[in-house]
């Protein structure tokens, strides 16, 4: 039986060596190791052999099987390497690449960066304040004592936790950063404060409970309304990349005196009147004014030692004008169809 096994082995190794293709090799595999092969029959009959013989023949068969399998594998690799079809596998370097989807900054972030760049070029520093603020900085320090009716203009999200004895709120305005900054810095100073604000309001296409403002504050010994107009005009002309005129209308804010509503000439028609400005020629931008001396007192400055200009503009509002968006809620919604457009 050992002879038989050896002759199968020699036959197998011989013919495997000569196999010219993967198909040939497959057939040889069936012939030599297949279920109906002579070798498999021998393996099956092992159990009928006497004990002594079974061991030697068994060992011999296993070694043979392993030897044949090894040669098969070797040959298979050899044939596969040979059958590699270079013509079919060649790479067409002129084929257009697969389009990759790239993420990008949210439009509001782009607008914020743009605003910061323009103000940096005018010598302003960008400052940030916390979104959770004490009642003092958000209201009291801005000349809005607890019973001041102007507080009702800004419905507030109050927090249940307090800081010491101070009530905490989600800041309703970036003006909250004014006194905080002035406590630590002496004039002359020029800052903008971009950031998120919150108000407990019903939403519609132009109002959101969460929105961005950017505050400007410039303080020195002889700052005046002319500076306010000029800086704003420079900023808006750069931001909209066209000549923009500005207009101030009398208004009221506790933290400024005098206070103004701030308008710019319509960015669509330039002031002639169109549907975007409802024929007014002007677009309302936000509040501005000359810093009330009481705010300086809260910051620890001497009364009448300085004068300052300030404003708080809505960032979404500017973005909406620039990119012709008519629904403010799209900014903080997560609709990718909107986000991808800009």
Residues interacting with ligand DAH, by CB under 6 A?
173, 175, 215, 253, 256, 286-289, 310-312
Q: How far is the CB of 123 from ligand DAH (least distance, A)?
A: 19
Q: How far is the CB of 154 from ligand DAH (least distance, A)?
A: 7
Residues 6+ apart with CB under 8 A from 242: 267, 270
Residue 87, CA distances (Å) to 31, 230, 266, 333 in order:
34, 70, 64, 52
How far does Cα 53 stand from its chain's mean position? 76
For ligand DAH, which is the closer residue by CB, 175 or 267? 175
Q: How far is the CB of 231 from ligand DAH (least distance, A)?
A: 13
Q: How far is the CB of 176 from ligand DAH (least distance, A)?
A: 8
For residue 111, count CB atoms less than 10 angstroms from its CB and return exposed for 0-12, middle for 13-18, buried for 19 or more.
Answer: buried
Answer yes or no: are the C-beta atoms of 239 and 122 closer than 8 Å.
no
How far does Cα 168 stand from its chain's mean position? 29
Answer yes or no: are the C-beta atoms of 8 and 32 closer than 8 Å.
yes
For ligand DAH, which is the closer residue by CB, 1 or 150? 150
For ligand DAH, which is the closer residue by CB, 142 or 321? 142
- Quote the CA–CA distance of 296 and 202 in Å, as a whole number: 34
Residue 120, CA distances (Å) to 123, 125, 192, 222, 231 in order:
5, 6, 9, 21, 12
- Quote the CA–CA distance of 2 and 4 in Å, as a whole number: 5
Q: How far is the CB of 216 from ligand DAH (least distance, A)?
A: 7
For ligand DAH, which is the closer residue by CB, 16 or 288? 288
Q: How far is the CB of 242 from ligand DAH (least distance, A)?
A: 25
For ligand DAH, which is the closer residue by CB, 68 or 285? 285
Answer yes or no: are the C-beta atoms of 160 and 94 closer than 8 Å.
no
For ligand DAH, which is the closer residue by CB, 118 or 150? 150
């Amino acid at each position: 039986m050992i002879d038989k096994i050896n002759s199968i082995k020699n036959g197998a190794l011989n013919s495997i060596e000569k196999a010219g293709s993967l198909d040939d090799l497959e057939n040889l595999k069936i012939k030599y190791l297949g279920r109906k092969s002579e070798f498999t029959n021998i393996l099956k009959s092992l159990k009928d052999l006497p004990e002594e013989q079974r061991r030697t023949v068994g060992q011999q068969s296993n070694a043979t099987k392993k030897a044949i399998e090894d040669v098969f594998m070797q040959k298979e690799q050899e044939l596969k390497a040979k059958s590699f079809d270079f013509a079919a596998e060649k790479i067409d370097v002129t084929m257009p690449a697969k389009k990759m989807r790239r993420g990008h900054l949210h439009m509001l972030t782009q607008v914020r960066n743009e605003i910061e760049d323009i103000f940096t070029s005018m010598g302003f520093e960008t400052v940030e304040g916390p979104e959770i603020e004490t009642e003092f900085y958000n209201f009291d320090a801005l000349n809005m004592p607890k019973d001041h009716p102007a507080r009702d203009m800004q419905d507030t999200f109050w927090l249940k936790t307090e800081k010491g004895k101070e009530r905490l709120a989600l800041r309703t305005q970036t003006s909250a950063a004014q006194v905080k900054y002035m406590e630590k810095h002496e004039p002359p100073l020029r800052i903008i404060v971009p950031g998120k604000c919150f108000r407990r309001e019903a939403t519609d296409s132009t109002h959101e409970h969460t929105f961005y403002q950017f505050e400007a504050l410039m303080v020195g010994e002889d700052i005046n309304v002319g500076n306010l107009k000029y800086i704003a005009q420079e900023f808006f002309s750069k931001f909209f990349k066209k000549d923009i005129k500005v207009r101030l209308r009398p208004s009221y804010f506790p933290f400024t005196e005098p206070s103004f509503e701030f308008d710019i000439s319509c960015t669509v028609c330039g002031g002639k009147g169109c549907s975007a400005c409802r024929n007014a020629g002007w677009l309302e931008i936000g509040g501005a004014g000359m810093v009330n001396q009481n705010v300086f007192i809260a910051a620890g400055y001497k009364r009448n030692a300085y004068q300052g200009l300030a404003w708080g503009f809505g960032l979404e509002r500017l973005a909406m004008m620039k990119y012709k968006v008519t629904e403010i809620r799209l900014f903080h919604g997560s609709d990718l169809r909107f986000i991808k457009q800009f």
